[in-house]
Amino acid sequence: MALCIAAHRKTTAGVSVDANQVLRGEGLALANVPMEQDRVYFEVHVVEPGRLLVGAARGTAGDSASWSGADYDDLLSQQPPSSRSFVEFGGPDGVAVEKDDVISCAFDQSDFPTSFEVFLNGAPLRDQTLTGEAHSDSVL
């Protein structure tokens, strides 16, 4: 898996970042700012397909220095939908992605209920309701 996230603030040990802001490896990449504005939009550009979770969470989605493949499943199965919203891409259960695909996310807390929508190349995939402050997360 390789993807481009221009404004990441933290990655775990299994993720490398090159001069073009392309992230590779297995691990966790967190965006650089909390989603405090009324509306937030961010994109993930797929450079090489692989398994990926993209979404939003209250607080940070893990502060550990390591991140394994089993953590993907734990994140999807243990977190209540009211506190996290992720879409899985690639892998056996995820939405198929190809090189040069663009995954975009729109978070809107200017109206009730708060909405979080995920798009693949402009086509909507899923939306969930989140409440309170959230951080945008990309999990490699």
121-129 own/partner pairs: CB under 8 Å, 24+ apart: 125/87, 125/95, 126/87, 128/81, 128/85, 129/82
Number of domains in the chain: 1
Cβ atoms of 104 and 41 closer than 8 Å:
yes
Domain span holding position 39: 2-139
pTM for the predicted model, two decimal places: 0.68
Q: For residue 139, what is the DSSP state?
A: E
* CATH code for the domain in which residue 91 is found: 2.60.120.920
- The SS3 call for residue 70 is helix
Reading the chain (140 residues) residue by residue, the pLDDT tens digits are 445 455 555 666 667 777 766 777 766 666 655 677 788 888 888 888 888 878 776 655 454 444 455 655 665 565 555 455 677 888 787 889 999 999 888 888 888 777 788 889 999 886 444 445 554 444 43
